[in-house]
Amino acid sequence: MSQVPDLGSPCAAPEAPITLSPTRQRACLEAAWEIEALALLLPKIELAEQPVAALQLRGVAARVAELAGVVMSGLDDAMVGEQQLQRRLQLPTA
């Protein structure tokens, strides 16, 4: 059963539509592709290997949350610029 979200809900439709530039669309797609790849990886984590498995799961969960944020911001937050979306896609380097 489908429901219309409350206007205060994070799932509410934006007041003004966001135009998806090719760069913005690409950032959302790259984030979604990586989310899918991580989701496919999750069942392969050997939970019997403690504490390594806990660290792996924590790392994957943090990355999935960041990537989901990229998708949501790219589709629904005009205040987040394309360069910021691209930066959030990149993994920190040592």
Domain extents for the chain? Answer: 22-89
Tell me how far apart the alpha carbons of residues 55 and 34 are, in angstroms, rounded to a whole number.
Answer: 19
Per-10-residue mean pLDDT for the chain, 94 residues long?
A: 50 68 94 96 90 93 96 92 94 73
Q: Annotate 13-49 with three-state secondary structure.
A: CCCCCCCCCHHHHHHHHHHHHHHHHHHHHHHHCCCCC
**Ramachandran angles phi, psi of 23, nearest 5°:** -70, -45
- Supply the DSSP symbol for 91: P
Output the pLDDT for position 12.
Answer: 58
Q: Would you say 82 and 60 are in contact if contact means Cβ atoms under 8 Å apart?
A: no
Output the pLDDT for position 9.
Answer: 56
